[in-house]
Amino acid sequence: MITIYTSPSCSSCRKVKKWFEEQNIPYREKNIFVATLNPTELKDMISKSENGTDDIISKRSKIIKEGNVDIDDMTISQLIEFIRENPSILKRPIMVDDKRIQVGYNSEEIRSFIPRAQRIAMMACKNCLDCDLKNKIN
């Protein structure tokens, strides 16, 4: 199951949810300001990130800048606790499934979340004139 970590005021979060709904791909939404992220979720995000914390944490966040916080000097446990106490430092949206993570809305990269069978069918239908999938491809 795909989990999308969101915040209410995030326009990219709304785009991502709309895209998943249009593709009929089920997802679970988790508002980072309502539900406290558990350590397992955060470790999973960090482990799937190509660049570790740089991919998921906004170093331009007010809390990090004004607090003069150096997340690179924190242990994993300290970092996880810091994120749990300050979820606004996370970039949004963050989409995670069992194999991958994507941060932010990117119209090309998000396609990796389309199930493989659906992608194969879409590729076969690119030249099809009578298929309902053609409308979804364009």
Catalytic annotation, residues = 10
* Residue 88 C-beta-side C-alpha neighbours within 13 Å: 7
Where are the strands (E) in the chain, listed by range?
Answer: 2-6, 27-31, 94-96, 101-103
Residues forming a β-bridge with 102 = 95
Cβ atoms of residues 95 and 110 within 8 Å: yes
Q: H-type helices in the chain, by residue range?
A: 11-22, 39-48, 53-56, 62-66, 76-85, 116-124, 133-137
Tokens 């004139």 locate to 129
Q: What is the CA radius of gyration of the chain?
A: 17
